[in-house]
Structure 1
Amino acid sequence: MTLLRAANVQLSFGSRTIFQGLTLTIEEGERVGLVGVNGSGKSSLMKIMAGVARADTGEIQLRRGARVTYLPQEPEFPEGATVASELSVAQGPLREALSAHTELGRRMEATPPEGQAKLLEQMATLSDRIEHLGGWDTEHHARTLLDRLGVKDWDKPVAQLSGGLRKRVAIARALLTQPELLMLDEPTNHLDADTVDWLEGELDKLPGSLLLVTHDRYFLDGLVDRIVEIQPGEGVVSYPGNYEAYIEQKVAAQEQASLAEHKRERWIAQEVAWLRRGPEARRTKSKARIDRARKLMAEKGFERPKAAGLQVVAAPRLGHTVIEAEGVKKSFGERRVLDKVDLRLQRGERVGLVGPNGVGKTTFLRVLLGELPPDDGKLVIGKNTKVAYYDQTRAALDPEQTVYEAASSGEDWVEIGGQKIALRDYLEDLLFPVPMQRQKVRALSGGERNRLLLARLFLEGANVLVLDEPTNDLDIVTLNILEGLLLGFTGSVLLVTHDRYFLDKVATSILAFEGEGKVIRYEGNYAMYRRLKEQAEAARAAASAPKKEAPAPVAPAAETAKPSRKPGKLSYKEQRELEGMEAAIEAAETRKGELEAKLADPAIYSSPTKVPELQRELDAASSEVDRLYARWQELQSAVSG
């Protein structure tokens, strides 16, 4: 059944058409991912479908009685709102259903049994609605959500929270409403990777429909069953399946369209040659052919989508020393943020910084850059090191400047690859056409601002890039381009991002901030970090747990003069094997514990070649323990018959 339908929607800003003739339908229980390049109108379309903005033309049809919850990129709260009051508002429908259920219970007590049938039916319907809206213990559920999202101050005014915490309160508020349709615009921004994992699980459990705008490709892969792509200036194209399926279908469609365009161009060339042959081509009987040729030439042919042409200016070669930190400490009052943190950044390394919000990732970057003094420790910056810093707040952009002014450093030319290029042309390659270059920065979308700041950063000629949440608001196409740039970058990179896919593609090692000032380095990308971390945690848990007791030896059965094997008896060899089983199991358990302790030591991950070897040894030791226990059980069973 159709839940929401947008029909023939058109939206323009001045002379710029965002989309026209756009039609999109969302069915009950459907999970839809909305994608498109920055500025294509994803957020605008979501606002129109949520009823918080109006299109120039078109119609929005919502199924009667359906509840819609919309979470924008930058959530809004009423003046004086507290965390508790916002969650209370979110649970309004649930509280109403609970009150109605209580009132119905009182009416049943005053109604004779013969008149209770209809009331029982109403109570069953209310019970189903209460379960659908989140259950009976409303406050417990709300507090659990907030706690998992890292929001501790239940009664604190929302205005006093950071932008990241406000986003988390808004996410909890949206989840608690349990709507028929939940619309989320970039919900993973400002969330750490572990919280994104958790949120993915929570959304997967929601019974209603979902419309999702996100640049997190793992998020799309895990949650949606249809991808809808906005075509700039036009409508939408729908692809069944998740993000991976969308990519496969889109590549196949583009190849097919490219082949069709090649055939079309060849046909046009033949028709043009025919038209040029002279008067015999212009007889009356050829008029229909001439009309067809002109119509075909006037049609718009297939064009591959344009992508932002981000480029990196050549940088000086790094020396032996890039950036080194030894024993760095930093506290704010009683709160310890960095405790004896070490880092040796080498040429060509791309180090990803991960961890919950507020544990010191940005603080560490600012200490490395000299913006914050360390309380203790040693910092060394190589003499050939030239750093470019991307600040997640985008403070370097003046919202009152034009796009052209913001990109310019006082010059109308940029030099890339040994060639001078007009700044105006460079901006066009970045998908900022000339009319757009005259717009104020404040008129740009979040992704367009991000793209502008990255473009300016890459023109600085730095050999060390320090990027704090550069992936926020970028469209997926631009993310792919940025990944390619960083993979080809000959300098070093320090990168803070919650985008797990991006870290898997780009990072060569992970610096994990675990709270209380503790920082551990893991070699490899994000997926490798997760595996190594889980193994280390399992090893620590095993080392601290009481060891399993080896089976007690079984007394040998009395021997006769000529022992013979009977059902339920052991041979002499098996009897000797069983007697030695206790010592064998103990030795195997000890070996397994030693290997687990080695893998639990963070220092081992500084030598990535040792980790796989130790892991293979641990796997073999674990298999041996399992084999010995299985053999012991087999022999015991034989003894007991």
Structure 2
Amino acid sequence: MVNLVNLESVSKSYGVRPLLDDVSLGVAAGDRIGVVGLNGGGKTTLLEVLARIAEPDSGRVSHTRDLRIAVVTQRSDLTEGTVRDAVLSHYTAEHEWAADARVRSIVDGLGISALGLESEVGRLSGGERRRVALAAALVGELDLVVLDEPTNHLDVEGVRWLADHLIARQIALVVVTHDRWFLDTVCTQTWEVVGGRVEQYEGGYADWVFARAERARLAATAEEKRRNLARKELAWLQRGAKARTSKPRYRVEAAEALIADVPAPRDSVELLAFARRRLGKTVLELEDVSLDAGPKPLLDDVTWRIGPGDRIGLVGVNGSGKTTLLRLLAGDTTPKAGRRIEGKTVRLAHLRQELDDLPGDLRVLQAVEDVAARVQLGKQELSASQLAEKLGFPPARQWTPVDDLSGGERRRLQLVRLLMAEPNVLLLDEPTNDLDIDTLQQLEDLLDSWPGTLVVVSHDRYLVERICDTVVALLGDGKVTHLPGGIEEYLDRRAGAPVKAAPKRAEPTPAKVNAAERRAAGKELARLERKLDSLHDKESRLHTALAEAATDPDRLLKLDAELKAVVAEKDEVEQRWLETSELVE
């Protein structure tokens, strides 16, 4: 494939801090690359240098001739003209763009029609302007699109539309995002910006997690804390998340060996028992409640009971009333009719999208210790400093004055202070905003073992599937609708597709065999298992021999040929074992 963009020995610093240090890489036609890394680590800088928005301090950035590129960064902020001017300026008449199925799909899929084509861009919210900028970039004929956090202002439905659109377009993509479902669904490569370098991995999020954990295991030099988090994340991917990529068998075996001693991410039975002891039978209840959100009814005579240990994900399109419903549950909004009931032992914490007042005269650690010095989160006891570090404040940053924090850091501090109060009911409104993937893993690790009741509003599909046991939706009918099929059922309902109440994988019907055939199959199965054990031992010995023959090219070639033959035979025997095992079940 022809490279569209090349970076050769590129370096870029801000102040004395090098964000890119002698980086060389390329983007080829059709590549779909996800960029990950810590906040402030250089992801946006990499995008801006790659797109020639920012000049490198040294090195060379080259684009292929006549490259058609669109860039939407977090600094892309339209302020003038109408929505039509921004998105459809290439078209002189309505019928021209309306006749183009791709443009119609973009206008509808990103909610541009709902904003109003004649609306003034300057009067839209920041999130709405970002959606307009994204639509304006996508309507053109492109070779490469460069996006910085494009999912931040999209609901779950919009995120899936964007993923489907980018895959169908078959254009090259470089995207910074913390949305792990999006990374796994769209991206075929992952770049990690760390310490001024760009580490390159094949595959999306799941493959990146495995590769990073495997590198740490083999090198035995990575921090134990990060390695344990990666192993727990692998346990989740292996046991809880739907497989989204096909992996070679050796990778599956290696992953299983890596996570063999990792406990399940969450012991739901134990946490439920603990939650009942802390909360009793009554937690939060809405009884015959009606509530309006602006001119529209949000709830119409709804009864909803949230019990101890319930872990609920709340989904709906932007503007459906999710934040208003959280405020009602928190007691900040009074219903038009009906009543809200709160249990006597409830200690409620509500993470709002708006920034609460923080003590600006204190430093970060002091602001956390102002709530408590230590906290018990399930079986974990953490100091104020340890919890702050888990949520993105390394020790050096903990002495920063609160007034000097960015908006994202202030929101993280708000979350740390909420958790330090040891609530037993958490209402979280978009908790993943401004969190990088490492901090998201830390948050999920905390919430996995948190024994309380949780209601979370988030466009981060991965987070909802990871930490919630139940999904409910606001579908605009005045009800709170339980979705047994989770987010996939929600998306099907929104698309008008038939809904499967309990999706199950169709299993092949086993062949009918008589007793004699079953006995013969049993003997064959035992023989195949012995053969597999023998081949596995032989494979291990060949790996050892290859390592010892590193300086002998001729022996390496011979051993490599033997290994390939053993692996091929092992695959064949495994297939026969699978087929035979069906006869004895």
**TM-score of the superposed pair, with normalisation by structure 2:** 0.69
Structure 1: gaps spanning 5 or more residues: 99-134, 262-301, 540-595, 600-610, 617-641
Q: CA RMSD in A?
A: 3.6
Please state whether the residue corresponding to 2:421 is helix, strand or coil: coil
Q: Conserved in 1, the CA contact under 8 Å of 2:178 and 2:437?
A: yes
165-174 or 521-530, larger mean C-alpha shift:
521-530
Q: 1:359 is matched with which residue: 309, 320, 330?
A: 320
Pick closer, same or farther for the CA change 1:429–1:154 going to 2, 3 Å: closer
459-468 or 39-48, larger mean C-alpha shift:
39-48
Report the alpha carbon displacement of residue 8 of structure 1 after superposing the two structures with TM.
3.0
Please state whether the residue corresponding to 2:286 is helix, strand or coil: strand
CA-to-aligned-CA distance 1:142-166 (integer Å, 9 cap, x gap): 4542233223211011122233322
The answer for the alignment partner of 1:501 in structure 2 is 462
Q: 2:344 is matched with which residue: 365, 380, 383?
A: 383
The answer for the alignment partner of 2:48 in structure 1 is 47
Q: Is residue 220 from structure 1 mapped to residue 183 from structure 2 by the alignment?
A: yes
How far apart, CA to CA, are the structure 1 residues paired with 2:165 and 2:397? 40
How far apart, CA to CA, are the structure 2 residues paired with 1:308 and 1:189? 28
The answer for the alignment partner of 2:440 in structure 1 is 479
Report the alpha carbon displacement of residue 325 of structure 1 after superposing the two structures with TM.
0.5
The answer for the alignment partner of 1:36 in structure 2 is 37
Q: 2:419 is matched with which residue: 434, 447, 458?
A: 458
The answer for the alignment partner of 2:364 in structure 1 is 404
How far apart, CA to CA, are the structure 2 residues paired with 1:85 and 1:528? 36
Please state whether the residue corresponding to 1:473 is helix, strand or coil: coil
How far apart, CA to CA, are the structure 2 residues paired with 1:449 and 1:402? 13
CA-to-aligned-CA distance 1:325-353 (integer Å, 9 cap, x gap): 02222224532222223221111110110
Q: Conserved in 2, the CA contact under 8 Å of 1:194 and 1:356?
A: yes
Pick closer, same or farther for the CA change 1:207–1:440 going to 2, 3 Å: farther
Q: How does 1:33-432 map to 2 (within 5 A)?
A: 33-73=34-74, 75-78=76-79, 80-89=80-89, 91=90, 142-151=103-112, 152=114, 153-231=116-194, 233-258=195-220, 303=223, 306=226, 317-332=278-293, 334-396=295-357, 404=364, 407-408=367-368, 410=370, 413-416=373-376, 423=384, 427-428=388-389, 430-432=391-393
Structure showing greater Rg: 1
How far apart, CA to CA, are the structure 1 residues paired with 2:485 and 2:104? 36
Counterpart of 1:25 in structure 2: which amino acid?
A: G
167-176 or 135-144, larger mean C-alpha shift:
135-144
How far apart, CA to CA, are the structure 2 residues paired with 1:199 and 1:214? 13
Pick closer, same or farther for the CA change 1:198–1:308 going to 2, 3 Å: same
How far apart, CA to CA, are the structure 2 residues paired with 1:486 and 1:507? 10
Q: Conserved in 1, the CA contact under 8 Å of 2:369 and 2:384?
A: no
Q: Is residue 538 from structure 1 mapped to residue 498 from structure 2 by the alignment?
A: yes
Q: Conserved in 2, the CA contact under 8 Å of 1:308 and 1:478?
A: no
Q: Conserved in 2, the CA contact under 8 Å of 1:508 and 1:523?
A: no
CA-to-aligned-CA distance 1:480-537 (integer Å, 9 cap, x gap): 2222222211110000011222222221111110014232123464346667x59996
Pick closer, same or farther for the CA change 1:226–1:513 going to 2, 3 Å: same
Q: Conserved in 1, the CA contact under 8 Å of 2:77 and 2:130?
A: no
430-439 or 477-486, larger mean C-alpha shift:
430-439
Q: Is residue 26 from structure 1 mapped to residue 27 from structure 2 by the alignment?
A: yes
How far apart, CA to CA, are the structure 2 residues paired with 1:327 and 1:412? 38
CA-to-aligned-CA distance 1:30-58 (integer Å, 9 cap, x gap): 11111112222212221222233344444
Report the alpha carbon displacement of residue 394 of structure 1 after superposing the two structures with TM.
3.4
Q: 1:470 is matched with which residue: 423, 431, 448?
A: 431
Report the alpha carbon displacement of residue 397 of structure 1 after superposing the two structures with TM.
5.3
Counterpart of 1:485 in structure 2: which amino acid?
A: L
How far apart, CA to CA, are the structure 1 residues paired with 2:88 and 2:73? 20
CA-to-aligned-CA distance 1:303-331 (integer Å, 9 cap, x gap): 4575999xxxx999112210000222222
Counterpart of 1:467 in structure 2: which amino acid?
A: L
Q: Conserved in 2, the CA contact under 8 Å of 1:184 and 1:213?
A: yes
Counterpart of 2:364 in structure 1: which amino acid?
A: Y
Q: Conserved in 1, the CA contact under 8 Å of 2:11 and 2:59?
A: yes
Counterpart of 1:257 in structure 2: which amino acid?
A: A
How far apart, CA to CA, are the structure 2 residues paired with 1:442 and 1:41? 23
The answer for the alignment partner of 1:632 in structure 2 is none
Pick closer, same or farther for the CA change 1:433–1:507 going to 2, 3 Å: closer
How far apart, CA to CA, are the structure 1 residues paired with 2:48 and 2:496? 45
Pick closer, same or farther for the CA change 1:58–1:198 going to 2, 3 Å: same
Please state whether the residue corresponding to 1:408 is helix, strand or coil: helix
Counterpart of 1:220 in structure 2: which amino acid?
A: L
Counterpart of 2:344 in structure 1: which amino acid?
A: K
How far apart, CA to CA, are the structure 2 residues paired with 1:23 and 1:442? 38
Pick closer, same or farther for the CA change 1:350–1:407 going to 2, 3 Å: same
The answer for the alignment partner of 2:524 in structure 1 is none
Q: Conserved in 2, the CA contact under 8 Å of 1:18 and 1:40?
A: yes
CA-to-aligned-CA distance 1:49-83 (integer Å, 9 cap, x gap): 223334444432222321321112364013x3211
How far apart, CA to CA, are the structure 2 residues paired with 1:243 and 1:420? 30
Identity, in percent, stands at 36
Pick closer, same or farther for the CA change 1:518–1:170 going to 2, 3 Å: farther
Please state whether the residue corresponding to 2:278 is helix, strand or coil: coil
How far apart, CA to CA, are the structure 2 residues paired with 1:534 and 1:156? 26
Pick closer, same or farther for the CA change 1:222–1:255 going to 2, 3 Å: same
**TM-score of the superposed pair, with normalisation by structure 1:** 0.63
Q: Conserved in 1, the CA contact under 8 Å of 2:312 and 2:455?
A: yes
How far apart, CA to CA, are the structure 2 residues paired with 1:368 and 1:353? 12
Please state whether the residue corresponding to 1:84 is helix, strand or coil: helix
Task: Give the number of aligned pairs.
Answer: 455
CA-to-aligned-CA distance 1:571-598 (integer Å, 9 cap, x gap): xxxxxxxxxxxxxxxxxxxxxxxxx9xx
327-336 or 490-499, larger mean C-alpha shift:
327-336
Counterpart of 2:153 in structure 1: which amino acid?
A: H
Q: Conserved in 2, the CA contact under 8 Å of 1:87 and 1:173?
A: yes
Structure 2: gaps spanning 5 or more residues: 230-273, 506-585
Q: Conserved in 1, the CA contact under 8 Å of 2:347 and 2:423?
A: yes
Q: Conserved in 1, the CA contact under 8 Å of 2:293 and 2:324?
A: no
How far apart, CA to CA, are the structure 2 residues paired with 1:535 and 1:202? 15
Report the alpha carbon displacement of residue 376 of structure 1 after superposing the two structures with TM.
1.1
How far apart, CA to CA, are the structure 1 residues paired with 2:97 and 2:43? 36
Q: Conserved in 1, the CA contact under 8 Å of 2:391 and 2:439?
A: no
Report the alpha carbon displacement of residue 202 of structure 1 after superposing the two structures with TM.
0.8
Please state whether the residue corresponding to 2:84 is helix, strand or coil: helix
Counterpart of 2:28 in structure 1: which amino acid?
A: E
Counterpart of 1:167 in structure 2: which amino acid?
A: R
CA-to-aligned-CA distance 1:223-244 (integer Å, 9 cap, x gap): 111111112x230111122222
Pick closer, same or farther for the CA change 1:405–1:243 going to 2, 3 Å: closer
Pick closer, same or farther for the CA change 1:204–1:415 going to 2, 3 Å: closer
How far apart, CA to CA, are the structure 2 residues paired with 1:460 and 1:306? 26
Please state whether the residue corresponding to 2:44 is helix, strand or coil: helix
CA-to-aligned-CA distance 1:131-183 (integer Å, 9 cap, x gap): xxxx9757775454223322321101112223332232122112112332111
